[in-house]
Amino acid sequence: MSAQYTPVARGFGPRFRGPASDQHLRVSDAERQAVADRLAEHYGAGRLDNAEFDERAGRALSAKTRGDLVGLLDDLPGTAAPAARGTPVTRGRPRRARTLLFVLLVLLALAAVHAALHALVLVLWVGLVAAALIVVTRGRTRRGQ
Q: Is the CB of residue 65 less than 8 Å from the CB of residue 23?
A: yes
Q: Does the pLDDT of residue 2 top 60, yes or no?
A: no
| Chain center to CA of 105 | 17
pLDDT in tens, 35-73: 889 988 888 888 888 888 889 989 989 999 988 888 888
Contact in structure between 53 and 97 (CB atoms under 8 Å): no
| Percent share of the chain, pLDDT over 70 | 70
b/e 63-80 (16+ beta carbons within 10 angstroms → b): beebbbbbebbeebeeeb
User: How far apart, in Å, are the Cα atoms of 128 and each of 63, 67, 117, 120, 131?
Assistant: 72, 73, 16, 12, 5
DSSP E strands: which ranges in the chain?
none
Contact 63, 29 (CB under 8 A): no
Give residue-wise pLDDT tens across range 88-106: 555 555 778 888 999 999 9
How much of the chain is helix, strand and coil, in % rounded to 5?
60, 0, 40
